[in-house]
Amino acid sequence: MSFRLANVAGRAALVLGDRSVDIESTTDGRLGSEAGQLLSAPSDLSELHRSLTPAVPSSALDETILGPPIPNPAQVFGVGLNYANHASEGGMDAPDLPLIFTKFRSSIAAPNAEIQLRSDYCDYEGELVVVIGPGGRDISAEHGWDHVAGLCVGQDVSDRAVQMAATPPQFSLGKSFDTFGPIGPVVVSPDELDDPSALHITTRINGELRQDGTTADLIFDIPTLVSYLSHVATLSAGDLIFTGTPGGVGVAQGLFLGDGDVITTTIDGIGTITNRCRRLPDHPYAATIPAGWRPAWKASTTDD
Ligand code: ZN
């Protein structure tokens, strides 16, 4: 299977170079306009891709109208501390089993979405996002890739204050503010990539390189994550797995996101998502966070 799938103004489309082809209209309705559903049979998309000729009606790809390629996933999983250099920058040991949290699907946003900050403790986490194709349960790691329809770029934006407000920390809400999960720009089928297990990933803030890693360094690789999750929750087409972030996040350096900051996240072979931050008024609960608050792992170290 081989394809690049986008959400163009709310409709699933195949991307061919700088053109896009609307899937539903090209197939006279045989295939639908909703990406999640299409991914239950990724071979249909590959077949369509192969059958397209230059004569097929297409549009110039307008990146400003791209939506999240999977606009309405049933489940969105996140993986914490899945790169050794990120675990150590937080003063944590690498986990023995995948550390899983959820991002609620209302956080999913377009590849060029504005990120709405509600406190001064928001942070970036550039991540490779796995998109499930054929679903299943109790999947072996050996067959993990068979259930992956594609890969895309994501940001696991995190309000560290909310994330660390409870003891033990509660990751899910702090990572689930609206707009905190931009994904895209397209979903790329794994066979489009030279090596889908070793992808170069970078995050820049206002052009400054902050994260520079490779997914070859994932502690729990993609097939392992698919297998692990599927032994708990049945996976279905369009489910997303944010696979974790490499070292270089802001909180470890005392650098948080502010109004106007631009986050640029790139994975070679997939593409780039660009998200400008806007500082909205505090949410009412932010006021309960004490001035000078810092992450628990920092508070226990000697001052800096
Ligand atoms: Zn993350």
Tell me, yes or no, whether 304 lies in a domain: no
Give pLDDT, residue 290.
Answer: 53
Query: Rounded to the nearest whole angstrom, what is the distance from the C-alpha of residue 212 to the centroid of ligand 1?
Result: 15
Å from CA of 277 to ligand 1 middle: 18
Structure confidence at residue 54 (pLDDT)? 83
Of 67, 88, 106, the domain-final residue: 67
Residues 28 and 100 in one domain: no
Whether residue 50 is found in the same domain as residue 109:
no
Does residue 190 have a cis peptide bond before it, meaning omega lies within 30 degrees of 0? no
Closest CA to 148 of 158, 161, 139: 139
> End of a domain among 38, 67, 96?
67
Residue 85 one-letter amino acid: N
pLDDT in tens, 253-302: 889 999 999 999 999 999 999 999 999 998 877 655 555 555 544 444 44
Compute the distance from residue 22 Cα to the ligand 1 centre, in Å: 32
- 19 and 165 assigned to the same domain: no
Asked if residue 299 is part of any domain, the answer here is: no
Instruction: State which of 153-167, 197-211, 240-254 shows the largest mean pLDDT.
Output: 197-211
Distance 68 CA to ligand 1 centre (A): 18
Looking at the structure, do residues 145 and 37 belong to the same domain, yes or no?
no
The set of residues, in sequence order, having a beta carbon less than 8 Å from that of 253 and lying 6+ positions away, is: none
Q: How many whole angstroms separate alpha carbon 203 and alpha carbon 60?
A: 27
User: Would you say residue 36 has pLDDT above 90?
Assistant: no
State in Å: Cα 78 to ligand 1 middle: 6
pLDDT of 167 > 90? The answer is no
Determine the distance separating the centroid of ligand 1 and the alpha carbon of 124, expressed in angstroms.
8
Alpha-carbon distance of 141 to 6, in angstroms, equals 28
Q: Name which residue leads in pLDDT, 289 or 204.
A: 204
Residue 130 has pLDDT above 70, yes or no: yes
Instruction: For residues 117 and 197, state if they share a domain.
Output: yes
Q: Is residue 35 situated within a structural domain? A: yes
Domain CATH for 250: 3.90.850.10
Mean pLDDT on 167-180: 90
Shared-domain flag, residues 44 and 94:
no
How many domains is the chain built from?
2
**156 vs 290, more confident:** 156
Share above pLDDT 90 across residues of the chain, in percent, rounded to a whole number = 80
Are 255 and 110 within one domain?
Answer: yes
Domain contains 301: no
Residue 157 Cα to ligand 1 middle (Å): 7
Residue 281 counted as domain residue: yes
225 and 268 share one domain = yes
pLDDT digits 0-9 by tens, 61-83: 999 999 999 999 999 999 999 99
Cα–ligand 1 centroid distance for 109 (angstroms)? 15
298 inside domain = no
Shared domain for 117 and 29, answered yes or no, is no
Do both 49 and 92 map to the same domain?
no
End-of-domain residue from the set 44, 67, 90:
67
* Average pLDDT in the chain: 92
More confident residue, 53 or 191: 191
The model's pTM is: 0.94
Within this chain, do residues 56 and 94 fall inside the same structural domain, yes or no? no
CA of 140 to the centre of ligand 1 (A): 24
Domain that holds residue 149: 76-293
Per residue, the 3-state secondary structure of the chain, as one string, reads CCCEEEEECCEEEEEECCEEEEHHHHCCCCCCCCHHHHCCCHHHHHHHHHHCCCCCCCEECCHHHEECCCCCCCCEEEEECCEHHHHHHCCCCCCCCCEEEECCHHHEECCCCCEEECCCCEECCEEEEEEECCCECCCCHHHHHHHEEEEEEEECCEEHHHHCCCCCCCHHHHCCCCCCEEEEEEEECHHHCCCCCCCEEEEEECCEEEEEEEHHHECCCHHHHHHHHHCCCCECCCCEEECCCCCCCCHHHCCCCCCCCEEEEEECCCEEEEEEEEECCCCHHHHHCCCCCCCHHHHCCCCC
Q: What is the pLDDT of residue 288?
A: 56
Average pLDDT over residues 147-165: 94
First to last CA, the chain: 51
Interval between CA 176 and ligand 1 midpoint (Å): 11
Question: Which of the residue ranges 53-67, 98-112, 172-186 would you say has the lowest mean pLDDT?
Answer: 53-67
Taking the centre of ligand 1 as the mean of its atom positions, its distance from the CA of residue 80, in whole angstroms, is 6
How far is the centre of ligand 1, averaged over its atoms, from the C-alpha of 31 (Å)?
33
Judge if 26 and 165 occupy the same domain: no
Q: Is it the case that residue 113 has pLDDT exceeding 70?
A: yes
Q: What pLDDT, on the 0 to 100 scale, is given for residue 300? A: 45
Distance between Cα 75 and ligand 1 center (Å): 15
Ligand 1 centroid from CA 92, angstroms: 15
